[in-house]
Amino acid sequence: ASSTWRNVAQGPPVRITEAFKADSFDKKINLGVGAYRDDQGKPYVLPSVRKAEDKVIASRMNKEYAGITGVPEFTKAAAVLAYGKDSSALDRLAITQSISGTGALRIGGAFLARWFPGAKTIYVPQPSWANHAAVFKDSGLTVNKYNYYSKDTLGLNLEMMLGDINAAYPGSIFLFHACAHNPTGVDPTEEQWKKIEAAVKAKGHYAFFDMAYQGFASGDVDKDAFAVRYFVSQGHDICLAQSFAKNMGLYGERVGAFSVVCANQSEKARVDSQIKILVRPMYSNPPIHGARIAAEILNTPELYEQWLGEVKEMADRIITMRALLKENLEKLGSQHDWSHITNQIGMFAYTGLTPEQMDQLAKEHSVYATKDGRISVAGITSENVGRLAEAIFKVKG
């Protein structure tokens, strides 16, 4: 008998997690996951999140639907966090709650595909978070790449990046990682952002920011929002995807926001109405629990202060692990320059190791990460950093 789905092709397996699970070595190291781990290698729930959640539960709110654009106490506070409390953008901002950062990108992609007046082409950095291209393609945009990372310097290739911005068809969309670029950990400096802004403006391009790590990069939520706020201050009516997965550790709660800076109130009202028209047939309205937790933190001064301290602690632990990894490699006598490990920022380090060396790390040393040489620094602990450095030293020297 013929079956209905006989033409469905098998998708590729998600290899790292499976190989890690199958490995019986008790000192195996998983550097493939994109989630923070504490120094014992355990998932971490922020104490401020526990407190906020207790308050939310104790208040015994009902479970009625949120509106299409979500919990207003959350979206208002999310906007202030991103744009700054004195931002001129706040009262002309169309904003909606989203299914974390991915959902925000997807709503943004769909909104641009339907309403962007220029070329419906979005340029994403090469390399970028693997999901960017898929999200934007499925949203109906054409996806192109711009140069970003230099394999020679293991840093930003600003010249080629600016060249690509200049060469793109005027009025194209450019996706920028606001901070903690994934996968490279390479961010432009503030001076470099100014050059990037000037190039974007000169060609009439449109900037779409993905801010999945605000506070998580430098430990300072304002510093990490520099690029977003700078573009707005220079007159760009940007759009922005925000995630609270990493900076609040709310991964599975799926808390995020998508916002569009508009020229005025009338534009804001029209954009807002069209965002609702997009969201309604996708999922009607977003989940409320995680947004209530985030709102409680952002709107309660003591909880907010506590949270800022906890984000900084996470960022600092990652920065410390970078330094320890470099130090250990040098102690072993490695002749390579490992300063990119400490120059990079955020959850991921781009080691510069080849796919073959990454294979060897997995097969011979039970260290698992993606083939592109990206390791999750969040998976490094005081306990395993020595063994990790030895493994890298053995495969690379």
Binding site for ligand PLP (CB under 6 A): 34, 100-102, 129, 177, 182, 210, 212, 243, 245, 256
Q: Between 109 and 256, name the residue whose CB sits nearer to ligand PLP.
A: 256
**Which residue, 101 or 249, is less far from ligand PLP as judged by CB?**
101
Please, what is the minimum distance in Å from the beta carbon of residue 21 to ligand PLP?
21
Which residues on neighbouring strands pair with residue 242, listed in sequence order? 211, 257
Burial status of residue 195 (CB atoms within 10 A of its CB: 0-12, 13-18, 19 or more): middle
Residue 345's φ and ψ, nearest 5 degrees, are -140, 155
Q: Which of 210, 307, 326, 338 is catalytic?
A: 210
Of 34 and 287, which has the nearer Cβ to ligand PLP? 34
Please tell me which residue in 28, 120, 246, 326 is annotated as part of the active site: 246
**Helix (H), strand (E), coil (C) string for 225-275:** CHHHHHHHHCCCCCEEEEECCCCCCCHHHCEEEEEEECCCHHHHHHHHHHH
Q: What distance in Å separates the CA atoms of residue 342 and residue 305, rounded to the nearest whole number? A: 27
Task: Give the shortest CB-213-to-ligand PLP separation in angstroms.
Answer: 7
Active-site annotation holds for 129: yes
State the nearest-atom distance from the C-beta of 76 to ligand PLP, in Å.
19
* Closest CB 102 distance from ligand PLP, rounded Å: 3
Per the document, the length of the chain is 397
DSSP 289-315: HHHHHHHHHHHSHHHHHHHHHHHHHHH
Q: Is 246 noted as a catalytic residue in this protein?
A: yes
Which residue has the CB atom at the shortest distance from ligand PLP? 101
Write down the least CB distance from residue 175 to ligand PLP, Å.
Answer: 9
- Residues near 37 by Cβ (< 8 Å), separated by ≥ 6? 43, 44, 378, 379, 381
Which residue's CB is nearer to ligand PLP, number 138 or number 359? 138
- Classify 219 as helix, strand or coil: coil
Mark whether 164 is an active-site residue.
no
CB-CB contact of 353 with 392 (8 Å): yes
Nearer to ligand PLP, 33 or 332 (CB): 33
- Residues annotated catalytic, as ranges: 129, 210, 246
